[in-house]
Structure 1
Amino acid sequence: MSLHDKLNEDMKQAMKSKEKDRLSVIRMLKAAIQNEAIKLGKKQLTEDEELTVLSREVKQRKDSLHEFEKAGRDDLVAKIQSELVFVQEYMPTQLSEEEVEAIVSAVIAETNASSKADMGKVMGVLMPKVKGKADGSLVSKLVQKHLS
């Protein structure tokens, strides 16, 4: 089942069970995917493009969550946390730090990287392998650790 179909099914279910918060997030995700399709001039996005949109939405919420926590806006923190839970339901299963570290080690060996100057080369090969399955900041931190 494609993400578009899953969102439609979940939207119907959320309407029937009167889950306003979930319905709001699903509509927002559908709009984000539709906007990306329009921007790219396509009728339907590929799975990879849909994953990019979902990753962007998760990152936006995490950034907002951090800012709201810093500002002491507990009302908005709770709202963003619940949205984040709903959005993450559509993301692939996240890799553990150990799994990411193993992939980082393999890519560093594969690219013969030895210093921080090779970080761009490593990240270029690594990110497509972990796209949507690992947080970019974690990946970057692990690459820097291995290359230092």
Structure 2
Amino acid sequence: MSDLPLTETIRAAMKAAMKARDKERLGTIRLIQSEFKRIEVDERIELDDARVLVVLDKMIKQRRDSAQQYHAAGREELAAREEQEIAVIQEFLPAQLSDAELEAMIDAAVAASGGTGMQAMGAVMAELKPKLQGRADIGAVSKLVKARLTA
């Protein structure tokens, strides 16, 4: 990742896609930009990198859900489009954590919370979520934490 804010990196990628006449990539980047603009206008804020990661994560989750529904309905061309958009969006996220790194972070968060059983779930997830944003699927992490706490 560069030292530029993510919004600037995405803006530069949009310019590059325009110059390369890459319509699919450009369309996806424009979707990202429009979501940023919508949030900035609605909430009257300027997005920082942490919030950008949250938005990108949400966009990927939406597209995964859509792709899954399209596959179930036999609409492979629409599912392929969603998967292409996921690939473009993921380019702007930090590198994904390996399973070993994820397990180590979960173990550390469980130890830091000091709780046991499912009553510690909220504290463990509150500890993990900011560290994992954009680097792991929070839903999958939640399942791993639940399995760890009930074991």
TM bin (shorter chain)? over 0.9
Does the 8 Å CA contact 2:5/2:48 hold for their aligned counterparts? Answer: no
Q: Please report the RMSD computed on the Cα atoms of aligned residues, expressed in angstroms.
A: 1.1
CA distance in 2 between counterparts of 1:98 and 1:69 reads 31
Q: What's the CA shift string for 1:15-66, capped at 9, x where partnerless?
A: 1211000000011101111111112212x21111111111111111111111
- How do 1:56-75 residues align onto structure 2 when only pairs under 5 Å count? 56-75=58-77
CA distance in 2 between counterparts of 1:62 and 1:96 reads 20
Q: Could you say which residue in structure 2 is the equivalent of 1:2?
A: 5
CA distance in 2 between counterparts of 1:11 and 1:61 reads 20
User: What is the one-letter code of the residue matched to 1:64?
Assistant: S
* TM-score in terms of structure 2 length: 0.92
User: What is the one-letter code of the residue matched to 1:20?
Assistant: K
Q: Could you say which residue in structure 2 is the equivalent of 1:141?
A: 143
Q: CA deviation at 1:8?
A: 2.0
* TM-score in terms of structure 1 length: 0.94
Structure 2 unaligned residues grouped into runs of 5+ = none
CA distance in 1 between counterparts of 2:138 and 2:11 reads 29
CA distance in 2 between counterparts of 1:15 and 1:126 reads 38
Q: Could you say which residue in structure 2 is the equivalent of 1:12?
A: 15
Q: What's the CA shift string for 1:55-95, capped at 9, x where partnerless?
A: 11111111111111111110101111111100100011111
Structure 1 unaligned residues grouped into runs of 5+ = none
User: What is the one-letter code of the residue matched to 2:104?
Assistant: A
Q: How many residue pairs are counted as aligned between the two chains?
A: 147
Q: CA deviation at 1:111?
A: 0.7
**Percent of residue pairs bearing the same amino acid type:** 36
Query: 4+ residue runs of structure 1 moved beyond 6 angstroms?
Result: none
